[in-house]
């Protein structure tokens, strides 16, 4: 019987670490990974709440579709995949022109 | 008959004319322009006639709101039009005389530049004036009030290339502002205390109030309105703009600065008679101001040598008469004089214009003389008008002026002193008018012979130069008989209106033949409802009613002998003035020079209009100028306002420069801002108690 | 009891992996630590009884997306990241902001711990693939189709971007 | 049964399975060498033991005794971790495979599957997403190859690993999609239930109810994809000796190399098991009811092993006969042929299923 709060706190910690990574990492690929980390943290929240509502749905409201949280995780993953595809393509394109992966050197707001 | 007669058509027709001429007139030739202007004015005159007949059938007053203009809380000001006896008179005068002057202008302005502009302005003036007299609330009236001020400004500065003209326009505008300021305050007081500006509402509210013994609310309001009226109607101390207004083309002087606009103040006071009748003090002030203005302007008129300025001062003086009439609660008499004055003063101006036209732009009377053979028609009509204004029976001026003097003498508001001054003024009036007449039409033509003394320049130089320029712009054209070379009669397009006006200035007075002459003061009867409706109902003021209403005598028996005495007195005085003028300027033309030499100081003082302008300059203009320069221009405008504007500019520039750093293109910085924002949002939500 | 212990273990692994992601200076190490995070997250999903999600977490995230990352790192032969200080804002404002954010959220959770209650694992039908499939292809059919279109667009975009501009 | 016996039984099962698996791997290598030799008209290993039967043992000893050298300028941790990862993943997937229904030894009944459980009522069940776990394991296995190539910091290795992982990812799609047809028919992800689904009455009374028959296209796709997944000829470009010395394990030697080797062969066995389970009815086969209980419970394992062996044989046979693809041909084959074919197969199958339902 794990408290829901634990899952949420874990998710919050992961999310904050992701943001932190975004802030302190210079390598654009690593920053991209930090984004993925944040997405995962959110997924954890989704699943946790899905299970939570699945157990407490009646108590709260009958409007809630208990499993929808997992479906949202599914969507998040799809979006993450698309994002990874495009983002990495962009990174490659940038690397071709700038010859660097350091975001501090890629600040001209153009390719 | 239709139950709604679309009164808004009356002012809108001239507006349409003004729009057409103003917007497209540049491409039209003069014929089209004048056609548009005349048609629009004539149409509004005709429609006004039809509407008035309808209204008379339907019963007065006719009051109809066309649309809502302003609605703020409980206060609302509609586009409403109001037609009662008073506005009927005004509308007829404005449209009628206005139309005649339009016709005259076609001939007079034929050779001027900016023909279309002139008529556009003139139609615009008609629009605003009609709005003024037809409005059913003070606010709409004020719109017309300001509008005619605007039109007058535009028309005085019509020859805007001349500094003197432009300055005169500005002077008129600014001096009027002072009056309008007071008018506004009066309106604010009305709103504050009666919550409305509609005539009905205000007068209904006022009619419940007793006559004020002391200086009460009504007195304050009345005084404010009165100051506004002094501005518009050129009364002491705000009359100074009117003489300079003569810079404008003569028809403008005739229409705006003699016949119609300057009488707006009188109209306003008569319209507000309900308020004035309840505040004796205000009435006293009005009467005194009118009286002073009358004699003051008359004396000044005596010394002027510029023909138009003489007429200007006489206008001021006559307006003083009207004020005096209103001041003794003889509103109908005032309006009566207003109407007759509209006729003969317009006639005088147009005649003077005709003379100037004939002499190719000469305005100085000392260069004229002996014109009666050369321009007989003009001479005839000018003589008629002069007799009328001098108050010689049976011309129009006699009846109205006699009515006023009679009222001043007998009205409880009036007094003998005022009456005496009025009579003296009548004498002076007749003197300077006949002086003008003799100097212009008798003796031999002194055109170009007399060199004008430097003191004369003080007054006539601008006007002379002024119209001189205009004259030269049209003077020597295709026609060799034109200009200085040959004095010639004006074309019929100008003479026609003169004749009509002449007839008017003979018969206009007959509508008000008082009872003791076995007439029945029809005019007074006609206006009675308006006056009576506004008259005080409290028993203490009951006896004023008949007086205020200007009722014929049968209501309160008075001995016709006294009436006869009064009338004859004024006539005699007028004749005396006539004789003096004849002796000085016809019999012994050299005398005046000696007299002026004898009493040189006084003469100069009068010639320079008692140095009023200079006094104002010293008292108000220079300090204001200094104040504006130092405080408002250097301090407020350059310091605060420009400071604010430039400060805003530089501030936004600086802020932008700072914020630009945020757009570093460094995604980590962006992420930092986002994180910060997220933290702020979460903190705010917690603070708001979300999740508690 | 076992449930809590497992959760704590995997949670700690998650956090450790995430921290390692930040600490490591070579992107490939970060990538692998992220894989670790994802794998342990999958296990936490199993603890939540969402086995299907756990499986696709492993297959899609760890197996596909992260492989893509590793690919790119290999392809670009990304070296150790240089410690350039391009953004002071990130250090001066961002990091405190993040810390505040985390503290606030954590505080909310802890303060509401009792009200939220707990999660048992004995939910038979919870992670069942049939239910999820039913939900996905009935209730959420339209979003599902839209995501497929999104994927298509993403593929095309990736192709266009990846092609050498010659 | 109580927890202790459960643990004991589990441990026993793991040990047995791993032992059998490793042995199988070892002898698969021998089989390969022998068969290829025969195909190429050679003898193959004959010296070590009778018919060279001890050859695998010798190889193992050689691998163990060889010096385990780690070149300079490799990314040490990953260089060491990569082969372990590869091996571990292939081992994990074995844990999901069911070999037979259940066996009763000394009163304790247990499923012939590491992750299978026997309910009190004698019913059997295993992980309900077993197939997904196998796919996940294989997809994680890609890391082993990729990291091996990258960490050994050599161009051959890098290119080989790039090829390998690209190829694996590409063919994973085809693999997964080819399984979808079977899943549609069986309606479950549990391997055991899939096998049970194939236990229904034969078609027309004589044709066994195996999914190979309705899903022959899917089977073909699966076979191709499986070969590519396991980097076998004709898809063994990652270790194409003629181009890149030995692909991603160029720099590996001794036991690490052996790990890759074993991982590869385990993957072969795993995909062979999967093929058996998904398309060939798993352990189904004629079982005489007159036979004793132990035989009855072990006969399914025999059938299972037989089918798996058939697949292994097929592997080696193809290796002995077919040439190697060119890389672009490989990718084109995977993306432009197998993938669309799998999708078409899925559509058709789903229509049929919907029509039947």
Residue B664 Cα, gap to closest chain A Cα (Å): 7
Q: Which of B365-379, B523-537, C39-53, D54-68 has the lowest mean pLDDT?
A: B523-537
Judged by a CB distance cut-off of 8 A, whether residue C94 touches chain B is yes
pLDDT in tens, B462-478: 444 344 444 444 433 33
Residue B650 Cα, gap to closest chain C Cα (Å): 25
Instruction: Evaluate if residue D188 carries a pLDDT over 50.
Output: yes
pLDDT in tens, B244-257: 888 888 888 888 88
Calculated CA dihedral for residues D194, D198, D201, D207, nearest 10 degrees: 170
Maximum CA pair distance of chain D? 65
Residue B663 Cα, gap to closest chain C Cα (Å): 11
pLDDT on residue B114: 81
Mean pLDDT, residues B333-338 taken together = 87
Instruction: Evaluate if residue B540 carries a pLDDT over 50.
Output: no
Residue C81 Cα, gap to closest chain B Cα (Å): 15
Across B133-147, B292-306, B457-471, B512-526, the highest mean pLDDT is recorded for B133-147
Residue C158 Cα, gap to closest chain A Cα (Å): 5
Phi, psi of C113 (to 5 degrees): -55, -45
pLDDT > 90 in chain B, percent:
4
Q: Return d(Cα C124, Cα C133) in angstroms, integer.
A: 16
pLDDT on residue D346: 92
Q: Taking CB atoms and an 8 Å cutoff, what residues of chain A touch B666?
A: 103-104, 107
Residue D50 lies in a domain: no
Full-prediction pTM beyond 0.80?
no
Mean pLDDT, residues B517-534 taken together = 74
Instruction: Evaluate if residue B29 carries a pLDDT over 70.
Output: yes
pLDDT on residue B127: 92
Residue B455 pLDDT level (bands cut at 50, 70, 90): very low
Token pair 């670790």 is found at C36
Across A50-64, B131-145, B531-545, the highest mean pLDDT is recorded for B131-145
Instruction: Evaluate if residue D77 carries a pLDDT over 60.
Output: yes
Instruction: Evaluate if residue D178 carries a pLDDT over 80.
Output: yes
Domain of D200 in residue numbering reads as: 62-356
Long-range pairs for C117-120: beta carbons < 8 A, 24 or more residues apart: C117/A3, C117/A4, C117/A52, C117/A56, C118/A1, C118/A2, C118/A3, C118/A4, C119/A1, C119/A2, C119/A3, C119/A4, C119/A7, C119/A48, C119/A51, C119/A52, C119/A55, C119/C48, C120/A1, C120/A55
pLDDT in tens, A63-101: 556 777 888 888 888 888 898 889 888 888 888 888 888
- Identify the chains in contact with D, defined as 3+ C-beta pairs within 8 A: C
Cβ pair B665:A31 closer than 8 A: no
Instruction: Evaluate if residue B396 carries a pLDDT over 80.
Output: yes
Stretch 51-80 of chain A: residues touching chain C, C-beta under 8 Å: 51-52, 54-56, 65-68, 70-71, 73-75, 77-80
Cβ pair A109:B665 closer than 8 A: yes
pLDDT on residue A41: 92
Stretch 17-76 of chain A: residues touching chain B, C-beta under 8 Å: 19, 22-24, 26, 31
Candidates C67, C72, C130, C151: best to mutate against D (most CBs of D within 10 A) is C67
Sign of CA dihedral B484, B486, B489, B491: negative
Residue C9 pLDDT level (bands cut at 50, 70, 90): very high
Q: Taking CB atoms and an 8 Å cutoff, what residues of chain B touch A108?
A: 665
pLDDT in tens, B217-230: 888 888 898 998 88
Instruction: Evaluate if residue B121 carries a pLDDT over 50.
Output: yes
Mean pLDDT, residues B383-404 taken together = 86
Query: How many contacts does A have with B, using Cβ atoms within 8 A?
Result: 25
**Mean confidence (pLDDT) of chain B:** 80
pLDDT on residue B174: 86
Q: Which of C86, C136, C161 sits opposite A93 (nearest CB)?
A: C161
Query: Nearest Cα to A23, choosing from B607, C89, B646, B339?
Result: C89
Paired tokens of A27: 């390598």
Token pair 């570093």 is found at B664
Q: Which residue of D has its CA nearest to C28?
A: D147
pLDDT on residue C46: 86
C-alpha angle B479-B481-B484 in degrees, rounded to nearest 5: 110
Q: Which of C15, C19, C161 sits opposite A90 (nearest CB)?
A: C161
Stretch 659-688 of chain B: residues touching chain A, C-beta under 8 Å: 663-668, 671-672, 675
Cβ pair B675:C87 closer than 8 A: no
Cβ pair B664:A104 closer than 8 A: no
For residue C131, give Cα distances in angstroms to A53, B669, D233. Answer: 15, 44, 41
Instruction: Evaluate if residue D344 carries a pLDDT over 90.
Output: yes
Residue D20 lies in a domain: no
Residue B672 Cα, gap to closest chain A Cα (Å): 7
- Tell me, rounded to whole angstroms, the distance of Cα D93 from its chain centroid: 8
Q: Return d(Cα C51, Cα D189) in angstroms, integer.
A: 12
Cβ pair B679:C98 closer than 8 A: yes
**Mean confidence (pLDDT) of chain A:** 83
Cβ pair B691:C112 closer than 8 A: yes
Residue A1 lies in a domain: no
Instruction: Evaluate if residue B547 carries a pLDDT over 50.
Output: no
Judged by a CB distance cut-off of 8 A, whether residue C97 touches chain B is yes
Judged by a CB distance cut-off of 8 A, whether residue A44 touches chain C is yes
Q: Which residue of C has its CA nearest to D173?
A: C64
Judged by a CB distance cut-off of 8 A, whether residue C124 touches chain A is no
pLDDT on residue C125: 67
Q: In sequence order, what are the residues at sequence separation of 6 or more whose Cβ sits closer than 8 angstroms to the Cβ of residue B498? A: B104, B347, B350, B351, B354, B377, B378, B381
Q: Taking CB atoms and an 8 Å cutoff, what residues of chain D touch C35?
A: 140, 143
pLDDT in tens, C28-68: 888 889 999 999 999 998 888 888 888 888 888 888 888 88
Mean pLDDT, residues D226-245 taken together = 75
Residue C70 Cα, gap to closest chain B Cα (Å): 22
Query: How many contacts does B have with C, using Cβ atoms within 8 A?
Result: 51
Residue D160 pLDDT level (bands cut at 50, 70, 90): confident
Domain limits, chain B: 9-607, 608-661, 667-692
Cβ pair C52:D129 closer than 8 A: yes
Token pair 């933290």 is found at B679
Q: Which of D140, D150, D158 sits opposite C58 (nearest CB)?
A: D140
Residue A98 Cα, gap to closest chain B Cα (Å): 15
Strands (E), B111-263: none
Q: Which residue of C has its CA nearest to B673?
A: C94
pLDDT on residue C17: 92
Residue D268 lies in a domain: yes
pLDDT on residue A64: 57
Cβ pair D139:C67 closer than 8 A: yes
Judged by a CB distance cut-off of 8 A, whether residue B659 touches chain C is no
Q: Return d(Cα B252, Cα B151) in angstroms, integer.
A: 10
Residue D282 lies in a domain: yes
Q: Return d(Cα B425, Cα B293) in angstroms, integer.
A: 10
Q: Return d(Cα D268, Cα D311) in angstroms, integer.
A: 9
Residue D71 lies in a domain: yes
pLDDT on residue D241: 66
Q: What is the DSSP letter of B255?
A: I
Number of folded domains that form chain A: 1
pLDDT on residue B619: 80
> What is the 3 state secondary structure string of B325-349?
HHHCCCHHHHHHHHHHHHHHHHHHH
Contact D150, D75 (CB under 8 A): yes
Paired tokens of B566: 């009064």
Judged by a CB distance cut-off of 8 A, whether residue C110 touches chain A is yes
Q: Taking CB atoms and an 8 Å cutoff, what residues of chain B touch C89?
A: 662, 664, 668-669, 672-673
Cβ pair B667:A31 closer than 8 A: yes
Cβ pair B671:A104 closer than 8 A: no
- Identify the chains in contact with C, defined as 3+ C-beta pairs within 8 A: A, B, D
Q: Which of B109-118, B313-322, B417-426, B553-562 has the lowest mean pLDDT?
A: B553-562
pLDDT on residue B282: 86
Instruction: Evaluate if residue B543 carries a pLDDT over 60.
Output: no
Element (H, E) at B183: helix B163-194
Q: What CATH number should be reported for the domain whose range is C2-80+90-127? A: 1.20.120.1200
**Mean confidence (pLDDT) of chain C:** 84
Judged by a CB distance cut-off of 8 A, whether residue C108 touches chain B is yes
Domain of A85 in residue numbering reads as: 27-101
Cβ pair A23:B671 closer than 8 A: yes
Q: Which of C59, C74, C128 sits opposite D132 (nearest CB)?
A: C59
Cβ pair B666:A23 closer than 8 A: no
Q: Return d(Cα B254, Cα B342) in angstroms, integer.
A: 9
Paired tokens of B589: 């033309």
Q: Which of B304-318, C103-117, D218-232 has the lowest mean pLDDT?
A: C103-117
Mean pLDDT, residues D178-186 taken together = 88
pLDDT in tens, D292-305: 877 888 888 888 99
Residue A13 lies in a domain: no
Number of folded domains that form chain D: 1
Instruction: Evaluate if residue B571 carries a pLDDT over 70.
Output: yes
pLDDT on residue C15: 92
pLDDT in tens, B315-326: 888 899 888 888
Element (H, E) at D148: helix D130-151
Q: Taking CB atoms and an 8 Å cutoff, what residues of chain A touch C50?
A: 47, 50-51, 70
Considering only CB atoms, which residues of chain D are within 8 Å of chain C? 75, 78, 127-129, 132-133, 135-136, 139-140, 142-143, 146-147, 149-150, 158, 161-162, 165-166, 169, 172, 189
For residue D163, give Cα distances in angstroms to D149, D158, D328. Answer: 10, 8, 11
Q: What is the DSSP letter of C49?
A: T
Instruction: Evaluate if residue B460 carries a pLDDT over 70.
Output: no
């Amino acid at each position: 019987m794990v408290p829901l709060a634990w899952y949420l706190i874990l998710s919050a910690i992961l999310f904050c670490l992701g943001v932190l990574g975004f802030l302190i990492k210079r390598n654009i690929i690593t920053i991209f990974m930090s984004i993925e980390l944040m997405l995962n943290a959110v997924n954890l929240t989704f699943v946790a709440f899905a299970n939570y509502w699945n157990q407490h749905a009646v108590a709260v409201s009958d409007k809630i579709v208990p499993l929808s949280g997992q479906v949202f995780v599914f969507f998040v993953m799809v979006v993450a995949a698309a994002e990874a595809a495009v983002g990495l393509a962009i990174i490659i394109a940038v690397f071709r022109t700038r010859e660097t992966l350091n975001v501090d050197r890629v600040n001209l707001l153009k390719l | 008959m239709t139950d709604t007669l679309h009164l808004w058509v009356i002012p809108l027709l001239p507006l349409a004319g003004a729009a057409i001429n103003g917007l497209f007139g540049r491409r039209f030739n003069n014929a089209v322009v004048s056609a548009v202007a005349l048609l629009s004015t004539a149409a509004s005159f005709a429609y006004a006639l039809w509407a008035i007949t309808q209204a008379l059938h339907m019963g007065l007053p006719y009051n109809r709101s066309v649309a809502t203009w302003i609605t703020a809380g409980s206060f609302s000001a509609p586009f409403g039009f109001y037609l009662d006896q008073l506005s009927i008179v005004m509308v007829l005068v404005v449209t009628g005389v206005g139309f005649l002057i339009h016709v005259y202008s076609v001939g007079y302005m034929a050779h001027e530049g900016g023909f279309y502009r002139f008529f556009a302005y003139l139609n615009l003036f008609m629009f605003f004036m009609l709005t003024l007299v037809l409005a059913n609330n003070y606010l709409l009236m004020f719109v017309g009030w300001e509008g005619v001020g605007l039109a007058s400004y535009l028309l005085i500065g019509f020859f805007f290339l001349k500094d003197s003209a432009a300055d005169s326009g500005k002077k008129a505008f600014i001096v009027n502002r002072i009056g309008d300021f007071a008018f506004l305050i009066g309106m604010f007081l009305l709103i504050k205390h009666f919550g409305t500006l509609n005539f009905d509402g205000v007068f209904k509210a006022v009619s419940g109030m007793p006559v004020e013994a002391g200086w009460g609310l009504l007195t304050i309001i009345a005084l404010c309105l009165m100051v506004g009226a002094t501005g518009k109607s050129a009364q002491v101390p705000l009359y100074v703009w009117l003489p300079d207004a003569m810079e404008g083309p003569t028809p403008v002087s005739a229409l705006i600065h003699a016949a119609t606009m300057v009488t707006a103040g009188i109209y306003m006071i008569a319209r507000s008679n309900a308020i004035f009748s309840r505040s004796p003090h205000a009435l006293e002030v009005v009467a005194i101001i009118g009286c002073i203005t009358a004699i003051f302007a008359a004396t000044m008129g005596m010394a002027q040598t510029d023909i138009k300025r003489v007429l200007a001062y006489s206008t001021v003086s006559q307006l003083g008469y009207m004020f005096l009439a209103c001041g003794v609660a003889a509103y109908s008499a005032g309006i009566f004089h207003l109407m007759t004055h509209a006729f003969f003063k317009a006639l005088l101006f147009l005649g003077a214009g005709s003379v100037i036209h004939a002499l190719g732009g000469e305005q100085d009377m000392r260069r004229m003389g002996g014109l009666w053979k050369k321009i007989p028609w003009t001479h005839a009509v000018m003589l008629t008008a002069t007799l009328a204004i001098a108050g010689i029976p049976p011309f129009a001026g006699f009846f109205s002026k006699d009515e006023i003097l009679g009222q001043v003498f007998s009205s409880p508001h009036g007094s003998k002193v005022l009456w005496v001054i009025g009579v003296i003024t009548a004498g002076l009036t007749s003197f300077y008018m006949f002086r003008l007449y003799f100097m212009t039409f008798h003796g031999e033509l002194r055109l170009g012979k007399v060199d004008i003394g430097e003191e004369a320049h003080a007054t006539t130089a601008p006007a002379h130069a002024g119209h001189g320029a205009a004259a030269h712009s049209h003077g020597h054209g295709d026609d060799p008989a034109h200009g200085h070379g040959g004095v010639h009669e004006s074309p019929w397009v100008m003479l026609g209106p003169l004749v009509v006006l002449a007839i008017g200035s003979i018969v206009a007075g007959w509508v008000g033949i008082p009872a003791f002459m076995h007439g029945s003061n029809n005019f007074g009867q006609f206006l009675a409802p308006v006056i009576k409706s506004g008259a005080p109902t409290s028993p203490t003021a009951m006896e004023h009613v008949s007086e205020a209403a200007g009722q014929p005598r049968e209501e309160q028996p008075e001995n016709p002998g006294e009436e006869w005495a009064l009338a004859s007195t004024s006539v005699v005085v007028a004749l005396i003035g006539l004789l003096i003028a004849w002796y000085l300027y016809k019999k012994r033309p050299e005398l005046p020079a000696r007299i002026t030499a004898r009493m040189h100081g006084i003469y100069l003082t009068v010639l320079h209009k008692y140095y009023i302008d200079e006094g104002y300059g010293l008292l108000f203009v220079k300090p204001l100028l200094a104040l504006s320069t130092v405080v408002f221009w250097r301090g407020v405008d350059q310091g605060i306002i420009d400071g604010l504007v430039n400060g805003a500019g530089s501030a936004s520039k600086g802020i932008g420069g700072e914020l630009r750093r945020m757009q570093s293109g460094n995604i980590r910085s962006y992420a930092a801002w986002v994180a910060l924002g997220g933290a702020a949002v979460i903190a705010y939500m917690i603070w708001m108690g979300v999740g508690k | 009891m076992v449930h809590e212990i497992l959760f704590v273990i995997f949670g700690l692994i998650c956090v450790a992996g995430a921290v390692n992601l930040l600490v490591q200076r070579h992107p490939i190490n970060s990538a692998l630590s992220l894989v670790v995070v994802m794998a342990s997250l999958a296990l936490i999903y199993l603890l939540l009884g969402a086995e299907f999600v756990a499986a696709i977490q492993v297959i899609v995230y760890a197996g596909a997306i992260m492989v893509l990352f590793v690919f790119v790192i290999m392809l670009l032969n990304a070296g150790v990241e240089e410690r350039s200080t391009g953004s002071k804002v990130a250090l001066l404002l961002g990091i405190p902001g993040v810390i505040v954010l985390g503290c606030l959220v954590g505080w909310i959770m802890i303060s509401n711990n009792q009200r939220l209650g707990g999660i048992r694992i004995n939910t038979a039908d919870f992670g069942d693939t049939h239910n999820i499939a039913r939900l996905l292809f009935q209730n959420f059919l339209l979003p599902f189709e839209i995501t497929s279109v999104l994927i298509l667009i993403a593929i095309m975009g990736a192709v266009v971007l990846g092609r050498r501009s010659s | 049964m109580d927890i202790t016996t459960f643990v004991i039984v589990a441990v026993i099962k793991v040990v047995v399975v791993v032992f059998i698996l490793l042995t199988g791997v070892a002898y698969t290598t021998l089989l390969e060498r022998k068969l290829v030799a025969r195909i190429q008209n050679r003898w193959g290993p004959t010296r070590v033991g009778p018919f060279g039967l001890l050859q695998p043992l010798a190889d193992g000893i050689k691998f163990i005794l060889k010096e385990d050298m780690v070149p300079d300028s490799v990314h040490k941790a990953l260089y060491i971790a990569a082969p372990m990862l590869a091996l571990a993943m292939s081992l994990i997937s074995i844990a999901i495979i069911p070999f037979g229904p259940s066996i009763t030894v000394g009163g304790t009944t247990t499923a012939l599957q590491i992750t299978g459980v026997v309910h009190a009522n004698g019913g059997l069940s295993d992980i309900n997403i077993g197939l997904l776990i196998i796919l996940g394991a294989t997809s994680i296995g890609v890391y082993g190859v990729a990291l091996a190539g990258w960490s050994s910091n050599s161009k051959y290795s890098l290119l080989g690993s790039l090829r390998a992982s690209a190829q694996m990812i590409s063919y994973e799609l085809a693999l997964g999609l080819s399984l979808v047809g079977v899943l549609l028919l069986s309606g479950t992800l549990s391997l055991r239930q899939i096998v049970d689904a194939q236990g229904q009455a034969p078609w027309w009374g004589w044709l066994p109810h195996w999914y190979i028959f309705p899903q022959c296209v899917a089977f073909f796709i699966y076979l191709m994809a499986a070969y590519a997944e396991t980097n076998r000829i004709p898809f063994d470009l990652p270790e194409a000796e003629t181009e890149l010395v030995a692909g991603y394990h160029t720099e590996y030697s001794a036991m690490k190399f052996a790990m890759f080797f074993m991982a590869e062969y385990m993957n072969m066995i795993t995909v062979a098991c999967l093929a058996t389970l998904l398309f060939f009815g798993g352990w189904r086969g004629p079982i005489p009811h007159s036979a004793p209980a132990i035989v009855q419970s072990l006969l399914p394992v025999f059938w299972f092993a037989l089918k798996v062996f058939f697949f292994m044989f097929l592997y080696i046979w193809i290796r002995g006969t077919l040439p190697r693809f060119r890389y672009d041909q490989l990718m084109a084959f995977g993306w432009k042929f197998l993938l669309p074919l799998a999708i078409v197969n899925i559509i058709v199958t789903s229509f049929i299923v919907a029509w039947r339902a």
